[in-house]
Amino acid sequence: MMGAVLMALSGLAFVGVYVTVKFVGTRLPAAEAAWIRYVLGLVFLLPVLGALRSEGLGRDVLRLSALRGVVHTVGVALWFFAMARITVAEVTAMGYLTPVFVTLGAVVFLKERFALRRTLAIVCALIGVLVILRPGFRELQPGHLSMILTTMGFGASYLMAKRLTGVASTNMIVALLSVWVSIFLTPLALWDWVRPTPTEIALLFGTAFFATSGHYFMTMAFQRAPLGVVQPVTFLQLVWSVLVGLLLFGEAIDEFVVLGGLIIVGSVVYITLREARLKKQESRGLP
């Protein structure tokens, strides 16, 4: 029960990220808004500075974390661009594609087995995207393409994070991501700088707070309950996103976005539970 509650709180926190970025709007360039969010978010690293200092850094950790920082920077800038231009529900629904790209990347780059059921789940997720976008039946916006590229970038970033877990602590991985993204976003932010207002800065600090809280609650949920309990709770995030879009921003409820999102989430839940079951069988020496 506690794991499910924590995952629900994680979803609420991530909806808070969407809301604050949506309120920031399009006056600030996407790269600048993302840079401000990450720089302000560095304050949340202060409690773990002592542990990071004692751990130290190796060359391989620096090299791989820097490469991850480049990929994640592109994804973050594209996400801020998409968030300000398409509905909250569309961003949330399409964001569930990230685990699908992680699965594809694991097959291509980590040489993991591509089982039939995993393939069918990925195909279903892609069908969900087509349901959301409905190409040929409505005009697609640049924000839609940006969101697809965002999920691909985040997928690559998470694969690199998986590699880093073998050579660095969780605190170090999270801290290096924040630092590298802040560094790599700097020239993009300065290229087309618009002086932010105090309200925009406050909103972006809220973005950093909600993002950090969301990851914190999610990690605690994974520690307290199996994936079979916490993963289905991610459905609630789509529900909240639809309600927030309707109540705060006057975004009409698009049944195709909801349906496509549910198809994608269902595929992600299946992939997650399937992977967890396979790992459990492997640990027991079962075929």
Question: Would you write out the chain's pLDDT as a tens digit for each of its 287 residues?
Answer: 787 788 888 888 988 988 998 898 889 998 999 999 999 988 888 877 777 778 777 888 889 999 999 999 999 999 999 988 888 888 888 888 887 787 777 777 666 666 677 778 778 888 888 888 887 677 778 889 999 999 999 889 888 887 887 788 877 888 888 899 999 999 999 998 999 999 999 999 999 999 888 877 877 776 777 655 666 677 777 888 888 888 888 888 888 888 888 888 888 777 777 666 766 655 554 44
Residues 6+ apart with CB under 8 A from 251: 87, 88, 89, 245
Q: Please tell me the distance from the alpha carbon of residue 272 to that of residue 185, in angstroms, as a whole number.
A: 32
Q: Which residues pair with 138 in a beta bridge?
A: 135
How much is the pTM?
Answer: 0.81
Cβ atoms 267, 103 nearer than 8 A: no
Length of the chain: 287
